[in-house]
C-alpha cells in the first residue's frame, strides 16, 4: 500500500483557512514547529501529537529572526525532500506541512520588507534589526530569557518567541509539542502561552538520544568523528551529576565543577553549566527541590546544549 505524503501549504492565509475548516468539524489540531532537517527527536514529537490530537501539522521554517549577524543562516542544514519522506513514514502520517518562504514578508517593496538587511538569500529580518516599514513587533518573556542561553545569545529568544507566536496565530493549534532538549525554550513558550492567554496546551517531550547518549540535534552532522566522540562528555557528566545527587551530593558548585572538568578534559569549551529550578530557571546553591542541570558547550565550531532533570532531595 502506497504511503500518502502530507499536504504542503506555503501560504499563511491558506494555512489558517485549513485549520479553521478542520476545527469547524470538531477536530483538534496538534502542532510541531521545526526548522527542518528532521531527526528522531522531531519524529517523536510527531508521534506524540498523533496520540493527543485528531490531526497534526508540522511547520518547517528556518527563522531568520533568531539568527544574529554573526551567525550564518545559510549554513543551517536543509533537506526538505528528506523531511517529507521521514514524516510520511511516521505511523498515521502528518496531515499538513506548513512550509512558508518568509513570514516577515508583508509585501512592502521588492525586497520583501523595506529597509531591512536580507539574510541567507531571502530572509528579511535578523534578530537584531528592525526593518523600517517592515517588522517592528517582538514578543519577549523578560525574566526567563535572561539566563542560560540568553546570556550569550541575548536576543535569541526574542526571535524564537516572536516566530512561535506568529505560527500559533496562523496554525491555531489546540496543543503544541516541544522537546525538552531546548529546556529554556520550552519553559519560555509555556510562560508566553500562559501570560498571553493562548488556548494552547504546551507539551514538553523527553530528550531523544543516540545509542551512545548524545542528545539528538540537527547540528550533530557538523561534528567530526573525533569531536562527536569528545562531545559525549556532556551527557556522561550530566548522568554522573544525577547519580551523585542521588547519593547525597547536593552541593551545586561541586556538581558544576565536576561537569566543567569533564567537558574541558575532552577539549570542549564551556559556555555555561547551571543548576536551576525547573520552572523559574533561577539558579540554586543546593538541590532541595526539583532542578534541571543545563549545559552548553562548544566542540570545534559546533555549540551543543543538553540537560538532565533531577528530583529534589531533603
Active-site residue list: 42
**Could you tell me where the DSSP H helices lie in the chain?**
12-24, 40-52, 80-89, 149-152, 156-171, 183-195, 225-246, 252-265
- Closest to 185 measured CA to CA, from 43, 298, 66: 66
DSSP reduced 3-state for 225: helix
Distance, CA of 289 to CA of 194 (rounded, Å): 23
- Closest to 245 measured CA to CA, from 260, 256, 234: 256
Query: Beta 302-310 vs 291-299: how paired, if at all?
Result: antiparallel
Distance (Å) of CA 247 to CA 89, 216, 275, 276, 295: 43, 28, 17, 19, 21
- 60 φ/ψ angles, rounded to the nearest 5 degrees: -125, 105
Residue 198 CB partners (closer than 8 Å, separation 6+): 168, 192
Q: How far apart are the first and last CA of the chain?
A: 57
What is the DSSP annotation of 37-61?
S--HHHHHHHHHHHHH-SEEEEEE-
Distance, CA of 273 to CA of 276 (rounded, Å): 10
- Other beta carbons within 10 Å of 279: 13
Which residue matches cell numbers 508583508? 106
Amino acid at each position: 500500500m502506497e504511503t500518502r505524503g502530507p499536504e504542503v501549504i506555503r501560504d499563511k492565509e491558506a494555512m489558517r483557512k485549513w485549520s479553521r475548516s478542520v476545527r469547524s468539524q470538531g477536530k483538534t489540531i496538534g502542532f510541531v514547529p521545526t526548522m527542518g532537517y528532521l531527526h528522531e527527536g522531531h519524529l517523536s514529537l510527531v508521534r506524540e501529537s498523533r496520540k493527543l490530537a485528531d490531526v497534526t501539522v508540522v511547520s518547517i521554517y528556518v527563522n531568520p529572526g533568531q539568527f544574529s549577524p554573526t551567525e550564518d543562516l545559510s549554513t543551517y542544514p536543509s533537506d526538505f525532500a528528506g523531511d517529507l519522506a521521514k514524516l510520511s513514514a511516521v505511523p498515521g502520517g502528518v496531515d499538513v506541512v506548513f512550509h512558508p518562504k518568509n513570514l516577515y514578508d508583508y509585501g512592502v517593496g521588492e525586497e520583501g520588507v523595506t529597509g531591512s538587511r536580507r539574510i541567507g538569500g531571502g530572509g528579511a529580518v535578523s534578530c537584531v534589526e528592525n526593518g523600517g516599514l517592515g517588522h517592528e513587533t517582538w514578543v519577549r518573556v523578560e525574566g526567563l530569557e535572561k539566563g542560560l542561553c540568553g546570556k550569550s545569545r541575548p536576543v535569541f529568544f526574542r526571535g524564537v518567541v516572536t516566530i512561535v507566536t506568529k505560527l500559533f496565530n496562523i496554525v491555531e493549534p489546540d496543543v503544541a509539542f516541544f522537546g525538552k532538549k531546548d529546556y529554556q525554550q520550552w519553559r519560555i513558550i509555556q510562560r508566553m502561552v500562559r501570560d498571553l492567554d493562548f488556548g494552547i496546551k504546551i507539551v514538553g517531550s523527553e530528550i531523544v538520544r543516540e545509542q551512545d547518549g548524545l542528545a539528538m540535534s540537527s547540528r550533530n552532522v557538523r561534528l567530526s568523528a573525533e569531536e562527536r566522540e569528545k562531545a559525549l562528555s556532556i551527557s556522561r557528566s550530566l548522568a554522573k551529576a544525577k547519580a551523585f545527587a542521588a547519593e547525597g551530593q547536593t552541593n551545586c558548585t561541586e556538581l558544576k565543577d565536576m561537569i566543567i572538568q569533564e567537558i574541558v578534559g575532552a577539549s570542549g569549551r564551556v559556555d555555561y553549566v547551571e543548576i536551576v529550578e525547573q520552572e523559574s530557571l533561577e539558579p540554586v546553591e543546593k538541590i532541595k527541590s526539583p532542578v534541571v542541570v543545563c549545559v552548553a558547550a562548544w566542540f570545534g565550531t559546533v555549540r551543543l546544549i543538553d540537560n538532565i532533570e533531577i528530583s529534589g532531595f531533603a
